[in-house]
Structure 1
Amino acid sequence: MTFNQGRDPVAVVGAACRLPGASSITELWDVLREGRDVVGTIPADRFADESERGRTPGVLRGAGGYLDDITGFDSRYFGVSPFEALRMDPQQRILMEAVWEALADAGIPAESLAGTRTGVYTSLLPSGYWDLLRRAGMYDMHAALGAAIPGIFPGRVSTRLDLRGPSMGVEAACATSLLAVHVACRALWNGEADLAIVGGANLQIVPDLYFALADAGVLSSTGQCRFGDVSGDGYVRSEGVAAVILKPLSRALADGDTPYAVILGSSATHDGRTGGSMVAPGLEGHEEMLRSAYLDAGVAPCDVDYIEAHGPGTRAGDPTELTALDIVLREGRPEDRRCLVGSVKSNLGHTEFNAGLAGLLKTCLAIRHRTIPATLHVDQPHEILRQPYTAVELAMLTQPWPQDERPAIAGISSFGMSGANIHLVLSEAPRPEPRLPAPARPCYVLPVSARDQRALRELAGSYADLLDTGPDLEDLCHTAGVRTTRHELGIAAVGADAAELAAALRQAGEGGYARREPKVVFVFPGQGAQWTGMGRDLLDRLPAFGQHLESCARAVRAELGWSPAELLRQERPLEHVDQIQPTIWAMQVALAAVWREWGVEPDLLIGHSMGEIAAAVISGALSVADGAAVVCRRSRVLRESHARGAMWAIGLGEEAAREAIGDHADLVCVGVINSSHSTVLSGDAAALDEIVAPLLARGVFGKRVQVDYASHAPQVDPMREPLLRELRDLRPEAGTVPIHSTAWDAPVKGEEMDAGYWFENLRLPVRFAAAARAALTQERPTVFVEISPHPLLRPALEDEIEASGARGAVVASLERGRPETDALHAALGRAYELGCRPDWERLYPQGGHLPLPAYPWQRRRFWPDQAGTVLPPEPAAPEQPARTYDLAGMQDTEVAGVVAGLAAQVLAVPGHDIGVDVPLTLLGLDSVLATRFKDRLHRDLGVEVPVRLLLGPSTLLELAARLRAG
């Protein structure tokens, strides 16, 4: 057996479905494996108005395969306004969910497809929903775009995901969805697309087609699809929605996918006149379809193990299909090895436009499980199947795949009433090589995200339930981080094992909200964060930290003759400045390197006093050896100079601190400005005692800093010349990450940080508050990551965040006395919740793809008969709109509240659903609704706002500020 060696097979890497009795792929396999018939009766309310049409309703009281709910939709997840969601055909709504579920099943984050050559190929049956909207008086542009027009839905998906590949609707009656697969495969093989999304939907909302099919006598009198049985007299109409994700096999294997099956070849033909009429099947046309498909696949028909037939159970269709299969598959086939044949329609009914995808899903599952499900309702097989020798045999019992040394081979057929014929040839995908389990980690970080709080809580609970089953934690964290769509709301569970992770998820709060990726600022404090025992836990349990610390330790040993790593392992108190500062520096550089290795890259660096030395190394301005030279030689000069003095942290702002110094200005100065409420006084110890005593007496916070010299004060002036001599050979370079100098209160590139700079860093005041304020932005939130053994600067940073009104947060890497590995992983989890994007692939490089819980859709009912859903018409705008609000005299939040109320009316969204920090485009504002919103703003507020501004990334709060500013 030789396959088509000239091209890459197409792998089916993801799938999702909504079928009768099966709302997921897992449930579909349960139906097939257990041999269940899930056809029921037509819901009583489905065609409630058919009597109005003057037709006999009797034909509509029979059997049918129906979905449980076609009215619900999670509009907010997809950024669709309720106004538009009501006007979208339910086929579009349900298929949107199925496409996203198929991407999740494939382990493809939706956002990762932006800008890629991903093609979208879909099929939707005109369902009649448009008729319901028309009768409700809701025929507008959104209704037109929401109708089941073949090309609209793929365009919606391509726009939502920012795809650049082909995007098209396909139609060939009941062969439609399999034709979409055929077209997608061709695009992958000829290079038009690198990935393909294929979907199909078939809902029955109005009864018209029922009457036509009943008149034609093609519906089953028994309420069953009896494929291959002599008594088969028609099919049962069923609903169904399905989606699959296709990619070249070589890429799938490289990506670590586990394909359901691979497509080797396909054929799309037409019967021409071979059937005698357009709707009659043609034997010659069927034979030609089969031969061309197997030729295209490079597979001999005699090697096929199983055929998933079109098999609706009709009088003309079944004999023609079985005869063609017998003729083509018998060539070269041993008489003792028949090809098994079956039809999923015996379980589900005929899902019409979606029938081909239903057959594809069944075949993929059969191949994956190497089990052929039974075809139901066969009492007496057709004569073709009872001949002395026939190449085909009905699979009337669920049975193992024929045992053979070669991969499984199967075919799938789908025919349309128009005469269209489609056949796919599938094979078993290569089995991935067994992976050795990853060694256990001391701590795991498991990210979970969703679009709203309720979904987040439900999803966290589902993950916790999964953890109770004992999954491989490396695989779980890898899949959740690398292969899952990231949403705005997120929580991160941190724990040493599955039980701890599950408990963390069940106890999790609301998590973090991140509309935009934040600005990340690494903050390096000065001396004072040290504590006995710091670093020991990380050295023992986090190899990455140990590697980076050892690199720093070698540089320190070259300068001073001892190793910070050895000192930390001894857990001895650090006694002198030339021990303390090199050790803190080494820890800071190692911690920052771990953060970067984990994928949290800084946009800006801020160093506080000696912390700027580590910042310079992380920026690239100084090498590790140069950084060690600066910290070691400067601290040695400090110790050898026998400098004296003291430093006090006090709870006063800069001006108040200067007033407190008063007559002692010749001996004491403001050495550090940490925040608008916190400074450090530096200078003569006795003078400081006189200054601080009355402050403490009246309740002002004060604490002596653990140093025995006064830096950032005149007391260090004698060290200038010795330090310049020690660092005269220093040659800094421009760094790759900008630094905001707290000595100069200005951005520096790094090449300025020569010997003279490092004296000024010791002598000039530390203007940390100004650097923190400069780091905060209004455009996006700021996350300060404090790179330190203990957070010294968190209170000061939080003060500046609060004072500025900007969005920001502080993450402490470690905390004194807390197990360091746990603390650092918890800090990473918190950074994730604040919007940072860790590199989960580097965190969990040995992880594989693991099936995760399905996203819990938060559906609301959207249907034209829903009370209160159809909005009243907009009142006409008066000729001279009156200004009812004095915007200039209002606060931004007040204006945002007014604007939110108007937006709620336009979008048909409850007011409490509109957050002032969320762009309206995420709630479904499009160009049509933006024009309407623009008119409402002009009418009610008397302001003119460009549509382009409303469709931008601005939030309502930002829009309010613009409106107030005029």
Structure 2
Amino acid sequence: MTTNNLHIENISDGDASPTEGIAIVGMSGRFPGAKNVDAFWRNIKNGVESITHFSPDELEISDPSGHDKDAGDYVCAKGMLDDIDMFDARFFGYLPREAEVMDPQHRIFLEICWEAMENAGYDAHRYSGSVGVYGGCYMDTYLLWNLCSDENFRERLVESIQVGSLQTELGNDKDYLATRVAYKLGLRGPAMTLQTACSTSLVAIATACQSIEAYQCDMALAGGVTIILPQKKGYFYKEGGMLSPDGHCRTFDSNAAGTVFSHGAAVVLLKRVEDAIADGDTIYGVIRGYATNNDGGDKVSYTAPSVEGQAEVISLALGMADIDARSIGYVEAHGTATPLGDPIEVAGLTTAYRTMTNDNQYCAIGSVKANLGHLDVASGAIGLIKTSLSLQEKILPPMINFENPNPKIDFENSPFFVNTKLQPWTASEWPRRAGVSSFGVGGTNAHVVVEEPPVFTADNNFRKSELLLLSARSKDALTAQAEQMASHLEADTETSLADIAYTLQVGRREFEHRRAISVSSRDDAIVKLRTAAVPGTAGVATSTNPEYVFMFPGQGAQYPGMGRALYESETVYRDTIDAIATTLIGIPEFGIDIRRYLLWSDEQTENRETLATELAQTKIAQPTIFAVEVAMARLLQSWGISPAATIGHSVGEFASAVIAGVFTLADATKLVAARGRLMQAQPTGRMLAVMGPRDEVEPLLPNNISIAAINAPGATVVSGPAAEITGFQTKLEAMGMMAKPLQTSHAFHSRMMTKARAPLEALVNDMQRSPASVEIISTERGGVVDPNLFCDPIYWGEQLMNPVLFADAISAAAVQNAHRIFIEVGPGQTLSALSKQTLTGDLKRVVTPTLGPVNAPGCDVENALAAVGRIWVAGGLPDWSAFTVGARRRVPLPTYPFERKRHWVEPMRRKTTQSAGQSAAQDQTSTNKAPMTQQTEVEDLIQQQLGLISDQLNILKQN
């Protein structure tokens, strides 16, 4: 593929090279109030707060502290995720029970990693490079609160320790988060689970960048996930603590009093910038610098932040990026909204920036935590996604919940100001740049410097029609995918349809349920996507590596303008036609430019009927049909669709011989021109198509009429003098047999061609010949023949005279290999219809023409693309890179419509009453204690069971 043209805005002297750094080429996530990145970004731009506030009566579990949940200091607020109990186990190859015992953090991280690859336009199975995985998750509360509180689960775990416990460990231990993704997606780069508390996902991203720059992998997925169960669980506010008193995050605000912990997941796909540009990737942003460090012990407590540590990591990242701090226009802060953390963070930023500039309030600052709450492990990746989208769209989103600055933050004498409204991100002398911070409890800090993406110059070289491919693991998912794509095309009116088609061709896993749609416009695509699939354009791929059989039609399929649109748009097709036309013009006995017939259009002044009459002459028809067939075959071959076998119907065998390498193109062109001329010079005659099998028709033939073709079990063609053919037709009709005259001027494949035989054989004898390089299925012999047979001049003489045994040839081709796709290569659709009358079973649906019917040919390009689509639906493997026209880009499209089902173990329910049979002593004992809650009981059980599980797992590992 041609490397994309690139234009970079405003790169100053001495700045980083535009082809250096790490590109963000894909992203995915689950967010409070948003099931995907698009919905998340809409919420951010619109200033939506996505923290859910609920009543104490909605709590999923009691608080064990003994405090009154109805008290004013109990806060019911959290940023929650929908459908954490849902998972498409079948898609990822898990049994329902396996999925049920798997931590939902693992399940969601697996899904978003798949989506990030698709968002970038990559199928891991077809990507030749290596892909790494770097991620982290929160502690496993699903095992703690759900699985271990289920008595049946605990019993099975103890009874089946050799199986159950290992399965549980693999589904719940943090160690297997990244390696699970690598295994299920088939990724061969490093797969590492990292844990640095709140900074985990940004540390994972920085580590992935290091791996890519060290060429340990070519791309890397990096991010994190946080889900804390139960979701609907409140907290008690304590003044001076880190939790918000009212369930709102007011980062940098004078009323900031704490954060709200929330749930979320995010992952980005990273790649070297130079590779991303060369591959036409959509780039959301470019990471120019990154750094990680730790505060060490020089701070007031283990959990406290450090000005020095944060300032150092920011300075390291700026230094690595080799840029001036004045070029940073936005900082996505850690911004926890705690009274202590926010002032320390701004102080650290200011300290780092003051080494380069004394400018004040030129850089916007904000934090996604104001919208979503504290996403803990996932927060850094989510902040990077928000920042990258801001850079890509050149806008600064509003910081919500901010009215007046925290008095402990001196914004006026710092480089920063809080941006509270959606506004354009104006350009400066530098590219737009931003910093993203994430700081973990325990002191591991991370900072990333990210720059706006390079600007691609669109390539306007594309086809008038495009081929859209959809595939899924089920028919229902395929239907959902079609609707997703139609809605996307309605919403996105700017992205090139050619880029969309290219992304679907090269950037999606090819599943068994498939649909291919040849479209001429965006509106056409929307209509067709929402219309029931036409037979042949959708189905289940029966083979992953089928063979192709090229079928070349004979005389009678010609019409003015056949293949014109392909000539205009496809270089390989045009070059082949031009080569044949040039050779024909140079033949003294011919001397006609066949492009006069092939390139006719409605705009031309020449009458179509006049051209059609001339084209019906054998001497013109045969070379012209031959030209279209060879050009179409060469075009298919250039798209990676090359035949394992060829079948030619009459003159079509000459195209078969060229594609098999028996004759050179120039020699075959001369032979076909001579054959057409010699056949037209013979006495005139007629041909008759009879609806009946050979064994019924042949006994009825008069002496002067010959069997000319057996096209199908019930389709026989006879040939002879005109008067005898007319009389024979009358006889058949009187017997009740249907017969129809063919539009021919001569009795082909009969004794009436005798005088043309010797001159043709002599010409073949003078030509250079080579044994066939592919399987030849002769229609003169009705079966597979020796590769040398087409080299024999006598064969071509016999082929001129003898019947065309097309039905026998098709049957022989099917016997050779049951996994074959039959492709009619040339004008019309006659051979496709005849083949289906001969073939049986599934082979009937793997027959496709490449052009439209003679009487209504339609658009040649759209028909050819539809043929490629049908080949793919049947399991074919076109070379999509070769199929592509122009320098195409991979663009974000809707990702796979997972068919999620509930896979969930419910936790033990809270006890509300005591049984009537309890003794008075028990009653008296209970009055002296705090009320026993379900959670307290569960905690005791969990501690016992976790100890048992740990012992048993240690035994298992030792064994």
- TM-score bracket, normalised by the shorter chain, equals 0.7 to 0.9
Return the structure number with greater relative CO, CA threshold 8 A, min gap 6: 2
Residue aligning to 2:258: 234
- 1:738 and 1:423 map into 2 onto residues whose CA distance is 62
Offset of 1:191 from its aligned partner? Answer: 0.5
Offset of 1:258 from its aligned partner? Answer: 3.5
Residue aligning to 1:390: 414
Offset of 1:171 from its aligned partner? Answer: 1.4
1:789-828 matches, cutoff 5 A: 789-802=827-840, 808-811=846-849, 813-821=851-859, 823-828=863-868
- In the superposition, relative to structure 1, how do residues 210 and 774 fare at CA in structure 2: closer, same or farther (>3 Å)? farther
Q: Is the 8 A contact 2:237 2:244 kept in 1?
A: no
Q: Is the 8 A contact 2:327 2:430 kept in 1?
A: no
Q: Which amino acid aligns with 2:85?
A: T
- 2:103 and 2:532 map into 1 onto residues whose CA distance is 37
Offset of 1:866 from its aligned partner? Answer: 12
1:674 and 2:702 aligned? no
Paired residue total: 860
Residue aligning to 2:334: 310
Q: Is the 8 A contact 1:555 1:628 kept in 2?
A: yes
Instruction: Name stretches of at least 5 consecutive residues in structure 2 with no aligned partner.
Output: 1-11, 158-163, 601-605, 909-959
1:775 and 2:813 aligned? yes
- 1:777 and 1:45 map into 2 onto residues whose CA distance is 71
- In the superposition, relative to structure 1, how do residues 579 and 409 fare at CA in structure 2: closer, same or farther (>3 Å)? closer
Q: Which amino acid aligns with 1:100?
A: W
- In the superposition, relative to structure 1, how do residues 466 and 18 fare at CA in structure 2: closer, same or farther (>3 Å)? closer
- In the superposition, relative to structure 1, how do residues 461 and 687 fare at CA in structure 2: closer, same or farther (>3 Å)? same
Residue aligning to 2:277: 253
1:68 and 2:82 aligned? yes
Helix, strand or coil at the partner of 1:340: strand
Instruction: Name stretches of at least 5 consecutive residues in structure 1 with no aligned partner.
Output: 868-966
Residue aligning to 1:499: 523
Residue aligning to 1:632: 673
Helix, strand or coil at the partner of 1:727: helix
- 2:677 and 2:232 map into 1 onto residues whose CA distance is 92
| Counterpart pick for 2:886 among 845, 850, 853 | 845
- 1:626 and 1:435 map into 2 onto residues whose CA distance is 43
Offset of 1:625 from its aligned partner? Answer: 0.7
Offset of 1:349 from its aligned partner? Answer: 0.2
Residue aligning to 1:565: 595
Offset of 1:405 from its aligned partner? Answer: 0.9
Residue aligning to 1:452: 474
Residue aligning to 2:690: 650
Residue aligning to 2:945: none
Q: Deviations over 1:317-370 (max 9, x none)?
A: 333322222222112313345543322111110011101111111221222233
Q: Is the 8 A contact 2:720 2:752 kept in 1?
A: yes
Helix, strand or coil at the partner of 2:310: helix
Residue aligning to 2:41: 29
Helix, strand or coil at the partner of 2:135: strand
- 2:211 and 2:717 map into 1 onto residues whose CA distance is 68
Q: Is the 8 A contact 2:360 2:413 kept in 1?
A: no
Residue aligning to 2:579: 551
Q: Is the 8 A contact 1:788 1:814 kept in 2?
A: no
1:407 and 2:431 aligned? yes
- 1:266 and 1:754 map into 2 onto residues whose CA distance is 72
1:739 and 2:776 aligned? yes
1:55-204 matches, cutoff 5 A: 62-113=76-127, 115-131=128-144, 132-134=146-148, 135=150, 136-137=152-153, 140=164, 143-144=167-168, 147-204=171-228
Residue aligning to 2:912: none
- 1:779 and 1:418 map into 2 onto residues whose CA distance is 65
Residue aligning to 2:344: 320
| Counterpart pick for 1:513 among 527, 539, 544 | 539
Q: Is the 8 A contact 1:783 1:811 kept in 2?
A: no
- 1:459 and 1:418 map into 2 onto residues whose CA distance is 45
Helix, strand or coil at the partner of 1:186: helix
Q: Which amino acid aligns with 2:632?
A: L
Please say which of residues 603-612 and 737-746 is displaced more in the overlay: 737-746
- 1:326 and 1:671 map into 2 onto residues whose CA distance is 92
Residue aligning to 1:298: 322
Q: Deviations over 1:374-427 (max 9, x none)?
A: 333345534452277334444455454465210123222212223211111222
Residue aligning to 2:634: 593
Q: Which amino acid aligns with 1:722?
A: P
- In the superposition, relative to structure 1, how do residues 533 and 366 fare at CA in structure 2: closer, same or farther (>3 Å)? closer
Residue aligning to 1:724: 761
- In the superposition, relative to structure 1, how do residues 763 and 182 fare at CA in structure 2: closer, same or farther (>3 Å)? same
Q: Deviations over 1:288-313 (max 9, x none)?
A: 32232222222344543332221212
Q: Which amino acid aligns with 1:27?
A: A
Q: Is the 8 A contact 2:690 2:718 kept in 1?
A: yes
- In the superposition, relative to structure 1, how do residues 417 and 699 fare at CA in structure 2: closer, same or farther (>3 Å)? farther
Q: Which amino acid aligns with 2:53?
A: T
| Counterpart pick for 2:656 among 601, 612, 615 | 615
Q: Deviations over 1:594-632 (max 9, x none)?
A: 444455443432112221111222333322211112212
Q: Which amino acid aligns with 1:565?
A: R
- In the superposition, relative to structure 1, how do residues 10 and 534 fare at CA in structure 2: closer, same or farther (>3 Å)? closer
Offset of 1:508 from its aligned partner? Answer: 3.1
Helix, strand or coil at the partner of 2:586: helix
Q: Which amino acid aligns with 1:375?
A: M
Q: Deviations over 1:738-778 (max 9, x none)?
A: 43333342155478434333223324543433432343379
Residue aligning to 1:766: 804
- 2:440 and 2:885 map into 1 onto residues whose CA distance is 48
1:525 and 2:553 aligned? yes
Residue aligning to 2:483: 461
Q: Is the 8 A contact 1:88 1:142 kept in 2?
A: no
Q: Alignment identity in percent?
A: 31
Q: Which amino acid aligns with 1:248?
A: R
- In the superposition, relative to structure 1, how do residues 125 and 811 fare at CA in structure 2: closer, same or farther (>3 Å)? farther
Q: Is the 8 A contact 1:41 1:63 kept in 2?
A: yes
- 1:305 and 1:186 map into 2 onto residues whose CA distance is 25
Residue aligning to 2:623: 582
1:39 and 2:46 aligned? no
- In the superposition, relative to structure 1, how do residues 169 and 212 fare at CA in structure 2: closer, same or farther (>3 Å)? farther
Offset of 1:644 from its aligned partner? Answer: 6.7
- 1:350 and 1:133 map into 2 onto residues whose CA distance is 26
Residue aligning to 2:739: 702
Offset of 1:437 from its aligned partner? Answer: 4.2
- 1:52 and 1:620 map into 2 onto residues whose CA distance is 83
The Cα RMSD (Å) is: 3.7
1:275 and 2:277 aligned? no
Offset of 1:524 from its aligned partner? Answer: 0.6
Please say which of residues 338-347 and 696-705 is displaced more in the overlay: 696-705
1:836-915 matches, cutoff 5 A: 836-838=876-878, 842-845=883-886, 847-865=888-906
Helix, strand or coil at the partner of 1:112: coil
Helix, strand or coil at the partner of 1:324: helix
Q: Deviations over 1:499-548 (max 9, x none)?
A: 33333233233751243444332211222323466456766787765543
- 1:730 and 1:438 map into 2 onto residues whose CA distance is 41
Q: Which amino acid aligns with 2:381?
A: L
- 1:461 and 1:361 map into 2 onto residues whose CA distance is 27
Task: Give the TM-score normalised by the residue count of structure 1.
Answer: 0.80
Please say which of residues 40-49 and 730-739 is displaced more in the overlay: 40-49
- In the superposition, relative to structure 1, how do residues 480 and 808 fare at CA in structure 2: closer, same or farther (>3 Å)? closer
Q: Which amino acid aligns with 1:625?
A: A
Q: Deviations over 1:891-948 (max 9, x none)?
A: xxxxxxxxxxxxxxxxxxxxxxxxxxxxxxxxxxxxxxxxxxxxxxxxxxxxxxxxxx
- 2:582 and 2:674 map into 1 onto residues whose CA distance is 15
- In the superposition, relative to structure 1, how do residues 44 and 726 fare at CA in structure 2: closer, same or farther (>3 Å)? farther
Q: Is the 8 A contact 2:75 2:237 kept in 1?
A: no
